[in-house]
Every structure is written in C-alpha cells, then in structure tokens.
Amino acid sequence: MVIKMTLFCFFVQVALSLSYNTTLGTGISREGKFFSIFSVVRFPNSGCSATNQYNGTCLTSNECSRSGGVAYGSCASGFGVCCTFLIQTCGTTTNKNCTYFQNPGYPSASVAPLQCSLVVQKCSADICQLRLDFQEFVISQPDSSTFETMGANFQGQCVTDSFTVSGGSNPIPVLCGTNTGQHMYVDMTTGGGSFTLSFSLGASSEAESLERTWNVKISQLPCDAISNAPPQCLQYFTSTTGTLLSYNYQVEDAENTYMLSNTDYTICIRMAEGFCGVCYSQCTSAAPPAFQISGEAGTASVDTDCTTDWITIPSGYGQGTTKTTDRICGPFLAADGEDTSEIPVCSTSKPFEVRVHTDNFEAETDLSDGFCLNYNQIPCISTAGINTVA
C-alpha cells in the first residue's frame, strides 16, 4: 500500500509539472493521461459574510488583491475568499459592489475641516439603483440658532457639516446630524454614469468636540432585482410591520433631535400579498416627542392648516372614522383637525407611501423634532379597528 501511494503521488507531481500542451514520451498527452483527474474550480462571485462583520464578494485570492480588496474569511467551500472593499481615502473612485465608504481613520473620528468624497461608478451597465445604508453616521447637527444673514434664516439647515449625493435622478435632500441606521435609494439611469457621495465638515466652535464618523454601505442593484425601490422612493420598507423615522430623529436623545429643513421625499412600503391597508401610530418608547412637525400646540393640524412642513398620508383617516385627510402636521399624529390627542391614521390608498416636506427653515415657534411612526399593514378582510377593506 505504501508503494502504491508513493507511486501515485509521484505521478501527480509529474502531471502538475507539465505544461498544458506537453506530451509524454509514450505519446499520451497530459490532458488525456492525467488532466482528467483534476478540474478547474469555478464558483459564482456572490455575496458573502466576512469575518470582520462586513459583507463582501466571493472571489479568488488573486482577484481580491488585484481589485484592491481585503480578504476576511473564506467562501465557496474554501476555494474563494470573502473580499471586502473598505474605502477611507477621500477623492477615490470605486466600481465595486458592496463598498463601504468610511471616514479617514475609521473607526476613529475625523477632525474638521474636511472635504471627503467618493465617486461611485456602475459595476455593470444593468445597474439601476444604489442603496446606501448608514451603518454609522454622526456629523454636526443642523443650525439651531435664529440668526439671519442677508435676510435668510438658516435654522434647521445643514450649515456646518453636510452629506450630499449628486448624480441621482430622484430628489435627495442634504443630510446632517445623526442618521445611524437610516438608508436611502438613489435612482440611476440605464447605461453609464457616475455618482458622488460627499461629506463636508466645517469648523465651528459648537462642533469642535464632536467626533465625526461615518460608515456607508453602498450596494448596487440590477434593474431586475426584486429589492429595487419603486421610482422616486428615497426610502423603501418591505416588511408588513416596521418603524419610519425622519432623518436626524434620535429615539433616545431628545436634546439633539431636530427636523432637517429643505427636504421633499417619499417613503414607500411594499404592499404584501393579502394586505390592502396600512396604519400608522406614534412610537411609544421614543425620548423626544414621537410626532412634532411645525403647527401650534394643543390640537391637530391637517390639510390647509399645514403650510410649511408636513407629512402626507394619501387619503388617511382616523381609526373608526370615515373622514379623510392628506397633509398632517402639528404636535401629534391625527387625521382630524379637531382631535386633541394622537390617533392612529390608516390608509388604503395604493401604493403605500408617506411623503415628507419641510421648507427652507424652521421658525423659532415651530415644533420641529420630526417623527417616529410605527406602521402595520392590514389584511384585506380585517376588523382590526379600521374601516373594513376588501
């Protein structure tokens, strides 16, 4: 047995040492004699979970290093490596799917002033959307003063720090503050094109001690992907239940929660099979008020009473009523301007969506914490406290 194994190993070594076109002295080619006992291992370049807690792409070790990635763990039964793309260098360009854009020195904080951008190119021509997941996003808060410059009030605007996205075909507001856990979709036209993500950190005495950090996961979605958001939807939720937060709403921090100015976007919810309605209610465990969008304290504000900032729930109505409304603002969520306390608002209008609008500044008298809303899709035949839908 030992002699047979030794001879087998010898012939394997000989076979591996021959080039593909080499012919043995017996006239039997390597391909015919030895190559049949080996096969080239091929595997799809699919997504994988890296050992550094990130998501990556399954590549060969050489492909990963040539692409500028870093291998963390194996995949494809050990034939591949989970290759991650982490970019901390400002002014860089990437065309890799599942790239992480991080501040220089992450997880350590960056020091202002700093201009830091990343150009994202499509990894293939059939990409139609980017999804940005803010796994960490902490920069300075919007302006909270009431100073005026040349007649313009900047309260609620991202004056010191800002995050912008250019190149998308859907409206994308300027962000600042804390948006960890939030996400957004960027619509991309077919064919070529590039998109720029930019963080601008300014010097400010109020923000000198702030530790600015960001870690943005960038996913490129093919045009036929089932996870694509409908056109013009900045945020997209696919579960039957979930929570909607305005940007910079901080569930556990009432002191630093400010609604951002100059926003005009749509939050979309995928209608699940067998469900015909959706109800929204204020979060009960939030430290800040769960719904404060301009308006006067005391009673709800709806429709024509909402002239500066509001959310729109198409054909929304209070549970147990038939009165409908669209615009909602004020100190709590309600569908009737005579309501004096929060009442969940439902809608059977399709598609399921909530539109958000804020003007260019938040007046000193405005209630501008934003919103934290739980949503719950309602089956087509239901007696769960809303009008029966069929």
Q: Does domain 230-390 have CATH number 2.20.25.90?
A: no
Distance (Å, rounded) from C-alpha 387 to C-alpha 374? 19
Domain boundaries, the chain: 2-33, 88-228, 230-390
pLDDT band (50, 70, 90) for residue 151: very low
**How many percent of the chain have pLDDT more than 70?**
79
Q: Is 78 helix (H, G, I), strand (E, B) or coil?
A: helix
- Asked which of 12-21, 112-121, 192-201, 250-259 is least confident by mean pLDDT, the reply is 12-21
pLDDT tens for each residue of 324-355: 889 999 999 998 888 888 999 999 999 999 99
Mean of the per-residue pLDDT values of the chain: 82
pLDDT tens for each residue of 188-226: 865 567 899 999 999 866 555 678 999 999 999 998 888
Distance (Å, rounded) from C-alpha 358 to C-alpha 247? 12
Question: With 70 as the cut, is the pLDDT of residue 120 above it?
Answer: yes
- Asked which of 26-40, 260-274, 288-302 is least confident by mean pLDDT, the reply is 26-40
User: What is the pTM for the complete model shown?
Assistant: 0.83
For position 390, what pLDDT does the model report?
A: 38
pLDDT tens for each residue of 39-49: 566 777 777 88
Question: With 70 as the cut, is the pLDDT of residue 264 above it?
Answer: yes
Are the folds of 88-228 and 230-390 the same?
yes
Which of 3.40.50.2000, 3.30.70.270, 2.60.120.290, 2.40.110.20 would CATH assign to domain 88-228?
2.60.120.290
For position 256, what pLDDT does the model report?
A: 81
SS3 per residue for 125-172: CCEEEEEEEEEEEECCCCCCCCCEECCEECCCCCCCEEEEEECCCCCC
Strands (E) in 283-367, as ranges, are 291-293, 301-302, 310-318, 324-329, 345-347, 352-358
- Asked which of 3-17, 81-95, 212-226, 312-326 is least confident by mean pLDDT, the reply is 3-17
